[in-house]
């Protein structure tokens, strides 16, 4: 028996964070990307759920981080069917590739640690857990996520992961702001550091650092909103699926924020 269905709008917001109109927009996006054309993966078998319910299942899984054996029965399907739905539709919810923007539109980038159980990618990090380093960039004016890097081992610093995750290429041609952990990337605008002799910064540099922190807070707020999707607090699936999940969550974040 199916408990949760997109046919009842009252289920949508608690399990996705989306308003019904926003959810319908998401379903149209997945349909345009070929969601209706994807078969169940078994010859001659159709999906037990229609497209809106499959999209709801994926979003609810990301939002709640329930196990497959928990979320499957909520939608009236087996845990293996829930797993196939997430594998098939998850990549279709991903963030669209970043477009070229006017030069005055600044990107702000920061990294966050995602606890990840797949040790093929995860590594012990400063939080003493096996984690991956996920780089996220937002537009400073709209605060919408514009790019997500490929997850890297959690014991690597932001300045290295910025180059190795591919986010540097995605932001190529745009001015980029970040915190002081991105030293070594000359194209990234970072705060002024105190002189080696310990003397104070001039007033004008301190004022610029205050402005820098104010702008940079936007990406920290975006990361906090993305982690409302609890899967980013304890990622149990194979590490190679994390990039698609993070990109999809970034897309849901943008839909929620844009209204």
Q: Long-range contacts made by residues 19-27, C-beta under 8 angstroms, separation at least 24?
A: 22/255, 22/256, 22/259, 23/52, 23/55, 23/56, 23/59, 25/255, 26/55, 26/59, 26/93, 26/251, 26/252, 26/255, 27/51, 27/52, 27/55
If you search the block for the tokens 């970043």, which residue do you land on? 98
Range 209-228 average pLDDT: 94
Q: What is the pTM of this model?
A: 0.91
- Lowest mean per-residue pLDDT among 42-46, 147-151, 178-182, 246-250: 42-46
Query: Rounded to 5 degrees, what angle do the CA atoms 140, 224, 158 make?
Result: 70
Check whether 151 has a pLDDT greater than 60.
Answer: yes
pLDDT of residue 43: 58
> Is 149 in contact with 159 (CB distance < 8 Å)?
no
User: CA quadruple 74, 76, 82, 86: dihedral positive or negative?
Assistant: negative
Per-residue pLDDT at 44: 58
- Rounded to 10 degrees, the C-alpha dihedral 227/244/181/234 comes to 40
Residue 160's pLDDT band, with cuts at 50, 70 and 90, is very high
Q: 107-115 and 176-177: which strand pairing?
A: parallel
Mean pLDDT computed over 221-248: 96
Site of tokens 């709008």: 9
Residue 17 gets the label, from left (phi > 0), alpha (psi -120 to 50) or beta, of left
Percentage of the chain modeled with pLDDT above 70:
94
- CA-based R_g, the chain, Å: 20
Handedness of CA 139, 144, 148, 153 (dihedral sign): positive
pLDDT at 41 over 90: no
Mean pLDDT (the chain) is 91
Closest-CA residue to 138 (of 25, 244, 233, 216): 216
Question: Given this model, what pLDDT does residue 172 score?
Answer: 87
Please indicate whether residue 100 or residue 230 has the higher confidence score (pLDDT): 230
Whether the pLDDT of residue 125 is over 90: the answer is: no
Band (pLDDT 50/70/90 cuts) for residue 173 is confident
Residue 40 has pLDDT above 80, yes or no: no
What confidence score (pLDDT) does residue 103 get?
59
Lowest mean pLDDT among 150-159, 169-178, 219-228: 169-178
State pLDDT tens for residues 23-34: 999 999 999 998
Six token digits for residue 5? 């269905």
- pLDDT value, residue 98: 59
| pLDDT on residue 255 | 94
Q: What are phi and psi of 146, to 5 degrees?
A: -110, -20
**pLDDT band for position 126 (50/70/90)?**
confident
Q: Is the pLDDT of residue 218 over 90?
A: yes
**CA–CA gap between residue 99 and residue 218 (Å, rounded):** 20
Q: What is the mean pLDDT of residues 106-129?
A: 91
Q: Per-residue pLDDT tens for 78-107?
A: 999 999 999 999 999 998 775 655 656 899
């Amino acid at each position: 028996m199916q408990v949760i269905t997109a046919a009842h709008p009252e289920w949508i917001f608690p399990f996705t964070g989306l308003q019904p109109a926003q959810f319908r927009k998401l379903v149209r996006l997945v349909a345009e990307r070929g969601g209706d054309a994807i078969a169940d993966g078994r010859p001659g078998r159709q999906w037990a759920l229609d497209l809106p319910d499959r999209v709801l299942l994926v979003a609810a899984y990301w939002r709640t981080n329930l196990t497959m054996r928990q979320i499957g029965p909520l939608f009236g399907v087996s845990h293996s069917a829930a797993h196939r739905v997430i594998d098939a539709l998850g990549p279709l919810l991903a963030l669209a590739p970043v477009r070229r923007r006017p030069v005055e539109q600044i990107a702000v980038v920061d990294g966050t640690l995602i606890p990840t159980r797949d040790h093929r990618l995860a590594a012990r990090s400063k939080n003493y857990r096996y984690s991956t380093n996920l780089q996220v960039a937002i537009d400073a004016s709209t605060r919408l996520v514009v790019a997500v890097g490929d997850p890297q081992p959690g014991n690597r610093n932001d300045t290295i992961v910025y180059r190795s995750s591919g986010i540097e290429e995605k932001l190529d041609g745009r001015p980029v702001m970040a915190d002081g952990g991105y030293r070594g990337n000359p194209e990234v605008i970072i705060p002024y550091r105190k002189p080696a002799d310990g003397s104070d910064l001039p007033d004008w540099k301190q004022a610029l650092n205050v402005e820098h922190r104010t702008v940079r807070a936007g990406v920290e707020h975006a990361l906090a909103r993305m982690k409302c999707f609890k899967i980013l607090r304890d990622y149990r699936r194979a590490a190679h699926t994390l990039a698609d999940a993070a990109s999809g969550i970034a897309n849901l974040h943008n839909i929620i924020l844009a209204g």
